[in-house]
Structure 1
């Protein structure tokens, strides 16, 4: 390499090196050192966005299921066409504390799901964020426990309404209150579907956090 010629590139810094064979010049050919730094941003993974989209779809489905369960149970009542002078045969959900707890739990879960939608959208826009995803994981786990407890308590009452219990001298009432039993049974099924969706939401959040 000749000392009078040197090539320069954009972002490069010439570094002089002493040439021991040259007596007429104290400077040697320039060796180019590349100090250019390229900013490298890790690309947003497509599967993380897919997890965020799946999360919000599941939340909408859970809203529908929990609202359907709360509405079906909360509007359930049946009055038999025959009655006596002192008694009127009527069945309502608030006659049983388990059904009342069922309505409150499913309505609370539905309200939480509505409030969680903005955080789910944030997880789609910024899939690498950890705080929002961790918060959703914690509250989804609480909602699973609440919905499962309410659905299980109501299911036990529905079972007794259909089959009764001869040992406890509890008679089955679904032969008379058939419409009432059909509605509460549908509400319990919808609540268990909501609980299953919550379990899937917990798994989705756990996978997203694991990949971070």
Structure 2
């Protein structure tokens, strides 16, 4: 005779261990919409897209700064065409350092774009982000150092130094100084963008 009581059966489902490689679990929607990526993956992808855009902007700023300084020159006639005063970037070692530094940062930003694209495709990958953070910090320091050194030279060229009898250079070579000043502003903007990139990378590397 069968028992009137319902027989209860229980199935023990073993707990799945979290993947040690850092892969986030998938979230299945209850409305039958299929598998959705976890929220953390979406946020990290947005950070990676912002990182890529900022790199393009910084690359444009450093390229413009290097090209502007490299083409900055002005010639002043003196009595005849055989005696002329000419100002070029290679007359001042600081400007040579400035142009080379911005060219190096531009080359680095070009090479970093594929890694930034990898971070967009694989937002949870940490190795390319760590590499970018290390080199981004070095390039940000180089950019800001070059811009700061050149800014001090340009300030001296605009205002001179009465204590050492240094006359304002830019009173005669106004166009040259204006071009270099614009390049310094562009380089400072690039350094600021690289700092923002470092901040984005720091938030992206957070596990939560």
- TM band (smaller chain): 0.7 to 0.9
1:71 Cα deviation (Å)? 0.5
- Match of residue 31 from structure 1: 9
Deviates more, 1:81-90 or 1:128-137: 81-90
1:75 and 1:48 map into 2 onto residues whose CA distance is 41
- Match of residue 153 from structure 2: 157
Paired residue secondary structure (2:9): strand
1:137 Cα deviation (Å)? 0.5
Where structure 1 has 5 or more consecutive residues not aligned to the other structure, the ranges are 7-28
- Match of residue 177 from structure 1: 173
1:192 and 1:89 map into 2 onto residues whose CA distance is 30
The reply on whether 1:52 has 2:37 as its aligned counterpart is no
Identify which of structures 1 and 2 has the higher relative contact order when contacts are C-alpha pairs closer than 8 Å and 6+ apart.
2
- Structure with the higher helix share, 1 or 2: 2
2:184 and 2:52 map into 1 onto residues whose CA distance is 23
Contact 1:83–1:89 under 8 Å retained in 2: no
1:58 and 1:165 map into 2 onto residues whose CA distance is 38
The reply on whether 1:194 has 2:195 as its aligned counterpart is no
Contact 2:77–2:83 under 8 Å retained in 1: no
1:130 and 1:38 map into 2 onto residues whose CA distance is 23
1:78 and 1:211 map into 2 onto residues whose CA distance is 54
1:124 and 1:109 map into 2 onto residues whose CA distance is 22
1:173 Cα deviation (Å)? 1.6
Distance 1:30 1:211, change over 3 A: closer
- Match of residue 41 from structure 1: 26
1:82 Cα deviation (Å)? 2.6
Structure index of larger Rg: 1
1:183 Cα deviation (Å)? 0.1
1:33 and 1:210 map into 2 onto residues whose CA distance is 37
- Match of residue 24 from structure 1: none
Count matched residues: 189
The two structures have a TM-score, normalised by structure 2, of 0.83
Where structure 2 has 5 or more consecutive residues not aligned to the other structure, the ranges are 18-24, 28-37
Contact 1:80–1:90 under 8 Å retained in 2: yes
CA RMSD of aligned residues (A): 2.4
Paired residue secondary structure (1:167): helix
1:127 Cα deviation (Å)? 0.8
- Match of residue 127 from structure 1: 123
The two structures have a TM-score, normalised by structure 1, of 0.81
- 1:25-104 to 2 correspondence within 5 Å? 31-35=9-13, 40-41=25-26, 43=38, 45=40, 46-83=42-79, 87-104=83-100
1:209 Cα deviation (Å)? 1.0
